[in-house]
Structure 1
Amino acid sequence: MMLRAAIIGYGKMGRIRHEAMDRHGGFEVVVACDTVVDPEAAIPMVTNPLAVYDYDPDVIVCSVPNMMIPDVVCTALARGKHVFSEKPPGRNSADVRLMMEAEAAAHKSDASLVLKFGFNHRVHDAIEEAKKLIDAGTMGDLYFMRGVYGKAGGPNYAQNWRNDPELSGGGILIDQGIHMLDLFQMFAGRFTDVQSFVQRKFWTDVPVEDNAFALMKNAEGIVASVHSSATQWQHTFRLELYLRNGFISVDGILSASGSYGTEVLTLALNRLDATGSPIPNPEQQELRFTEDKSWDKEIAEFHAAVVEGTPLKCGTSQQALDVMELVEAIYAADPEWSNPRQKTSQTATE
């Protein structure tokens, strides 16, 4: 079944989604909306988001800045359209709840409407393989996880809308670290205890964090630590999962920029000595991935959910709420960051 699609927000991500829909073959992109009309665009373009509905789309792809996401998503659902939205899912958990209310209201008239958020890291090949290995059970219980996800600011970093908390909701944690937090919750579920340090060290002319360190524990005692950084001068993605019978790590993540390197999944199974104790430095096996299929997998899942009614596994509104609440918990756990008076004092002394 061919679905008519409208893209609201035709920048980098909107075009990536357009390309993925074209590769899938089950979508006809009939219109795109952006603040400026691209004269070379191969499809009709408009500047008013409401004008896309004149083209009678079946689905809305939302690729706008964080502060605009709730309005675009809620409007689309109220008009009976399926929605695929980028992450982060707004600026805070209140934004997510607003969209969930619109989703629930829409379901009263059409229970088949689909709302999906684009957390594509869940469907990277290396991450999926790690999940399969853990779910198979042969590696035993998951004990703890470590994650580092960082980059080097970038050109015009201070002027980017992502560093205006009124527009974005936060800094590097909500922009990039949210992916690592989403993966943590995919592997371990919700975290109940959170400790953190949230800092602004290098980019002192912006009102958001450039580093966030957090330590989390869930009800089963699984611990996770994350470092989300805009001062990781060497672009880095590393996820480590330690289990009773060995460990799994993912180094590198394939991305549109290509700056995080090849995805390498490393697997090591413990060897035991005569007493049954693990021998240090077990033999490791590597599996390398060189093609990013995550965009295509997300679009395929969205199409199947709309056309066939297949339940979403990734990017549900509940998952979006869970991870946004974890982001907020990390901000709140550092009293020097979450207290506005202390936050202002910190800025003045830096």
Structure 2
Amino acid sequence: MRHNIGIIGYGIMGKIRHKAIDEIKRGNVIAISEPDPAHRHENLPNLDHESVIAHPDIDIIFVCTPNFLNKDLTIRALNSGKHVFCEKPPAFTAADVKEIREAEKNSGKKLMYGFNHRHHDSIMYMKEMIDSGTYGQVLWLRGRYGKSVTEDYFNQWRAKKDLAGGGILIDQGIHMLDLFLYLSGDYDIVKAEVSNLYWHMDVEDNAFVILKDSKSGRVASLHSTMSQWRHLFSLEIFLEKGYMVLNGLITSSMSYGEETLSIAKNRSTAPAATWKDEVVTKYIDNNSWRYEMNHFLDAIESDVPVKIGNSEDALKLMTIIDDIYAQKDF
């Protein structure tokens, strides 16, 4: 079965989604909506947003726009009887997500969010091993996700609170928070320090976050930053019987370094710790975009719930982000 697809927003993410759709050969992009001439596709009709949403031949809408448009376009597309795939963040607040979920329920259509990191082979393997119980329960997690930006960032929509909804946390840190929830479960206690000490923009340049699950005592810590002065991705998970450490993430620019997963069971003999029995796997292919598209289309064609990146996941995530931003002091 091949679906007719419309893409609203044809910048970097719109093009990435189009490429993945073409690669899996399960859909045809028949129209886009992109106001910037630099991003238009020569061989596709470029329509206004409403024309794509109302197009009688389109059954799936991809929302790949600046953040402030995500909620409205998602609701309008669902109300128009289309399945919707929307990039992160789903909206600016948890209350917004609740409105979206109501439209989703009334439409009977599928809605999925682009929390792409869940679909990396390394993350999928970590999830499999955690769920297997081989290493026992998760005790704590530590995530660091950072990048460097230059002064031209001030001219981008991501630097404007009314367009982006927030800074580095909602831009990049949201992925790490999502992985915390995906790999270890829910958290009900949130403590945070959110600052803009260097760039002095409308939005934060650093977020330091501590999460705790009051039932299990499990703790997760996040540092999300745009004053890292280099790109960095690091996710560490320590369990009762071992650990998993993922450093680097495959991207088109490879600016985060090689995607390398190190796993070991308890292997330290006091007083000296050794590393000789650590299993190290380097991932060289990024299959995540195709996996993500297949997951979404499988849910549509089989009429089953979206399991990864659904609106319930989005609500839990935005509830935590609400709590974090409530604690910022600038």
- The residue that corresponds to 1:73 in the other structure is 74
Query: Does residue 253 of the first structure (1) align with residue 246 of the second (2)?
Result: no
Query: Does residue 280 of the first structure (1) align with residue 273 of the second (2)?
Result: yes
* Structure 1 residues 135 and 292: CA distance shift in structure 2, 3 A: same
Distance 1:190 1:40 in 2: 41
- The residue that corresponds to 1:59 in the other structure is 60
One-letter amino acid matched to 1:146: R
Contact persistence 2:197–2:205 (CA under 8 A): yes
Give the alignment's Cα RMSD to 1 decimal: 1.6
**Partner residue of 1:123 out of 119, 125, 134:** 119
Point out where structure 1 has 5 or more consecutive residues left out of the alignment: 108-112, 338-342, 344-350
**Partner residue of 1:309 out of 292, 303, 313:** 303
Contact persistence 2:10–2:40 (CA under 8 A): no
* Structure 1 residues 70 and 270: CA distance shift in structure 2, 3 A: same
- The residue that corresponds to 1:217 in the other structure is 212
**TM-aligned CA deviation for residue 89 of structure 1:** 0.6
TM-score, length-normalised on structure 1? Answer: 0.89
* Structure 1 residues 235 and 272: CA distance shift in structure 2, 3 A: closer
Distance 2:5 2:160 in 1: 30
Contact persistence 1:235–1:259 (CA under 8 A): yes
**TM-aligned CA deviation for residue 279 of structure 1:** 6.0
Query: What pairs with 1:313-328 in structure 2 (closer than 5 Å)?
Result: 313-328=307-322
**Partner residue of 2:227 out of 221, 227, 231:** 231
Which 4+ runs in 1 deviate beyond 6 A?
A: none
- The residue that corresponds to 2:196 in the other structure is 200
Distance 2:150 2:32 in 1: 28
One-letter amino acid matched to 2:274: N
Distance 2:67 2:239 in 1: 36
- The residue that corresponds to 1:32 in the other structure is 32
Point out where structure 2 has 5 or more consecutive residues left out of the alignment: none
In the TM superposition, what whole-angstrom CA distance separates every residue of 1:173-194 from its partner, at most 9, and x where no partner exists? 0100000000001122221111
* Structure 1 residues 332 and 278: CA distance shift in structure 2, 3 A: farther
Query: Does residue 295 of the first structure (1) align with residue 298 of the second (2)?
Result: no
In the TM superposition, what whole-angstrom CA distance separates every residue of 1:19-64 from its partner, at most 9, and x where no partner exists? 0000010101100001134565221112x10111335201001101
Distance 1:40 1:9 in 2: 11
TM-score, length-normalised on structure 2? Answer: 0.95
- The residue that corresponds to 2:7 in the other structure is 7
Contact persistence 2:9–2:64 (CA under 8 A): yes
If you compute each CA radius of gyration, which structure gives the higher value, 1 or 2? 1
Contact persistence 1:270–1:278 (CA under 8 A): no
Q: Percent identity?
A: 40
Contact persistence 1:263–1:288 (CA under 8 A): yes
Query: Does residue 161 of the first structure (1) align with residue 162 of the second (2)?
Result: no
One-letter amino acid matched to 1:21: I
